[in-house]
Amino acid sequence: MVGSSVGSVQRHLGSAVVRLPAGDGRLLQAVCINAVRGNPDSVIAAIDHFCQNQEWAMNVGDEKGAILDSVVMETSPSTVLELGTYCGYSAVRIMRLLPPATRFITLEMNPDYAAVARQVIQHAGLQDKVCLVEGKSADLIPKMADMFGIRTFDFVFFDHWKDCYLPDIRLLEDCGLLDQGSVVLADNVLSSLRFSSRFYRSHLEYTRVLDGLESRTQTGPGSHCGRI
């Protein structure tokens, strides 16, 4: 049974000791105890079970996750950007559906969340397929071309701070990282004249509170920002 201690949980990641928020530490512990190593579906199931039966967590969840799965499979992207890694749930969920050659980059500004996500992704056996970068999306988006040699992203998943959605989608456009046909999936993405959109009615993760996801497809190229 997963422990329910209050406070922080210390985890040893290599030679470093990282202090994790209690809930995220228990989520990681649930994965390590209950999920089959190297099996992404088992990791997803362990997190869903933990969130449904022990503690709520703000990952995309099982109901919205099924929508995410369908959009990813429909898009079949070769380059993916995720904004907001959190515990690594959606990174595992997305990458398990895609071939190993897919370029997958996920950004997380919270070092404690990133520490959990790295362990979750490693437990799923996807550590060589998912590139997790710590830092603010506003700082990292303009560096994507120089850091990774990626010209555009076929699929972008917005799952970070909601007040960053509009500036970040504008930044992606300004940096030329969204091309015609690029798909952006997020909650409550604000409108853009260069997008056609589709709304998926759903519920807030692991609750019956009404919520949804919105998918938008780029219908025209953005501009290009200068190299950093």
Task: Give the β-pairing of 155-158 and 183-186.
Answer: parallel
Query: What is the Cα–Cα distance from 99 to 117, expressed in whole angstroms?
Result: 21
Positions annotated as catalytic residues are 159, 162, 187-188, 205
Q: What is the residue type of 206?
A: Y
CA neighbours within 13 Å on the CB side: how many for 228?
Answer: 13
- Which percentage of the chain shows pLDDT scores above 70? 72
CA max distance for the chain: 53
Q: What is the residue type of 153?
A: F
Reference 54, options 185, 167, 206, 188; nearest CA is: 206
For residue 212, the model assigns a pLDDT of 52
Q: What is the DSSP letter of 162?
A: G
Query: What is the Cα–Cα distance from 180 to 173, expressed in whole angstroms?
Result: 11
**What are the b/e assignments for 60-74, b being 16+ CB within 10 Å?**
bbbbbbebbeebbee
Coil vs helix vs strand at 48: helix
CATH superfamily of 58-218: Vaccinia Virus protein VP39 (3.40.50.150)
Judge whether residue 161 has pLDDT over 90: no
CA neighbours within 13 Å on the CB side: how many for 189?
Answer: 28
- Give 11-63 pLDDT, tens digit per residue: 433 434 444 444 678 899 999 999 999 999 999 999 999 988 888 777 888 88
Q: Average pLDDT of the chain?
A: 80
- Cα distances from 196 to residues 153, 167, 182, 183, 216, in angstroms, run 17, 18, 11, 10, 6
- Average pLDDT estimate for 137-166: 91
Q: Which two tokens stand for residue 102?
A: 């897919």
Judge whether residue 84 has pLDDT over 70: yes
- Give 174-205 pLDDT, tens digit per residue: 999 999 899 998 754 444 444 556 665 655 55
Contact assessment for residue 133 and residue 106, using Cβ atoms and an 8 Å cutoff: yes
